[in-house]
Amino acid sequence: MRTSPVIPVLVVHDAAKARPLAEALVAGGLKVLEVTLRTDAAMDAIAEMRKVPGAIVGAGTVVSIDQADRVRDAGAEFIVSPGLSTTLGEHIVASGIPFLPGVATAGDIMRGLDLGLSHFKFFPAETSGGTKALRALAAPFHQCLFCPTGGITAASAPEWLAIDPVLCVGGSWIADGTPAQVEEKARAAAALGRPDARR
């Protein structure tokens, strides 16, 4: 979450395009890549992206223990889930792989704290009340840090990044276009903030 201000949320339909996509993103300055398990090509895409020097490749949309085990076997370096169940959370935490669970309510965050977690994905960010909702949620949970994801755009990302407990945002807008266009979008996204200057 501290590596760059934007984590690309990637839906890869063709594994053959995974490596060029990762190369373009990394060249543009975005090294942390979240491959969502929304397609049949996702597992192969993770393996292909892992071949790109400098890429830190994880799996998103992980909703079951079986998926968590399979993405770990595929080489995923972190796991992101859209929500947080105690069963899945306990399993991933016990595995030792970095885990960013989705939260949208105070109860979700408290469940995560019970599991020893303090870093969360606020999801779906825009439809869960936007920046006002996150500010309200973050106030009583001062020990927590967030990566808002869901509906965030290049235009709205700076507003989210201005919230103190937000280390980065997740977004899919970066991955559209040719490799050259993706690299250009990645470079613009990487310039949105200085993660090393954030707590």
Which position among 23, 31, 121, 185 bears the catalytic label?
A: 121
CA distances from 115 to 16, 57, 92, 94, 120 (A): 38, 24, 10, 10, 12
Q: Which two tokens stand for residue 137?
A: 């949620």
To the query of whether residue 23 is one of the catalytic residues in this protein, the response is no
Beta bridge partners of 33: 57
Measured between alpha carbons, how far is 79 from 40 in angstroms, rounded to an integer? 17
Residue 183 designated active-site = no
Report the distance separating Cα 190 and Cα 186, nearest Å: 6
The one catalytic residue among 34, 48, 183, 185: 34
User: Catalytic amino acids?
Assistant: 34, 121
